[in-house]
Chains A and B, each alone.
Chain A
Amino acid sequence: MSEPGVDESLDLPAWSEAFHGDGPGPRPDLGLDHPISADWAYGDRSGSGVRVAVVDSGVDASHPLVGGVADYVALVSDPDADDGVRLEAGEHIDLYGHGTACAAVIRSLAPQAELVSVRVLGASLKGSAGVFARGVQWCLDNDVMIANLSLSTTNERWAETFHHLVDAAAFRRMMLVSSMSNERKRTIPSEYAGVFSVACGPDNDRERIWCNPHGPAEWAAPGIDVEVAWNAHSTITATGNSFAAPVIAGHLARIMSAHPDLTTWQARTVLAALACNT
Chain B
Amino acid sequence: MCLGAFSVSIARVVDDGLYYAAADGRGAEGIIGTLLPPGAGIAGFVAATGQSLMVRDPASDPRFARDVGERVGYVPAEMQCIAVLDREGDVVAVLSLLDRASAGSTTDSSGGQRALEAIVDIAATLLDTAVVDDEALIQRFTALGPTEKARVTPIVHAVLDAFER
Contacts and interface: CB of A to CB of B under 8 A. Distances in A.
Interface stretch (B58-66, B68-76, B152-160): B58-66
A235 B88 contact: no
B61 A230 contact: yes
Interface string A117-149: 000011111101100000000000000000000
Contact of B61 (A123, A151, A153, A231): A231
B5 to A, nearest CB: 12
Given A11-B109, A154-B50, A230-B60, A123 B38 contact: yes
B126 interface: no
A244 to B, nearest CB: 12
Contacts of A1: 113-114, 117
A80 B46 CA distance: 27
A148 to B, nearest CB: 13
Interface residues of B, number: 41
Q: Which bracket fits the contact residues of A?
A: 35 or more
A179 B53 CA distance: 13
B39 A237 contact: no
A203 interface: no
A8 B103 CA distance: 19
B2 to A, nearest CB: 17
Nearest to A184: B117
A45 interface: no
A57 B82 contact: no
Instruction: Say what secondary structure dominates the interface of chain A.
Output: loop
A128 B89 CA distance: 11
Nearest to B54: A239
A125 B18 contact: yes
Interface string A82-126: 000000000000011110000000000000000000000111111
Nearest to B108: A9
Interface of B: 13, 17-18, 37-39, 42, 44-45, 47-58, 60-63, 82-83, 85, 88-91, 105-106, 109-110, 112-114, 117, 120
29 contacts: A1-B113, A9-B109, A57-B48, A96-B42, A98-B45, A98-B49, A121-B45, A123-B38, A125-B48, A126-B13, A128-B49, A151-B50, A153-B50, A154-B89, A157-B89, A181-B52, A183-B83, A225-B56, A231-B62, A232-B61, A232-B62, A232-B63, A238-B53, A238-B56, A239-B53, A239-B54, A239-B55, A240-B54, A242-B53
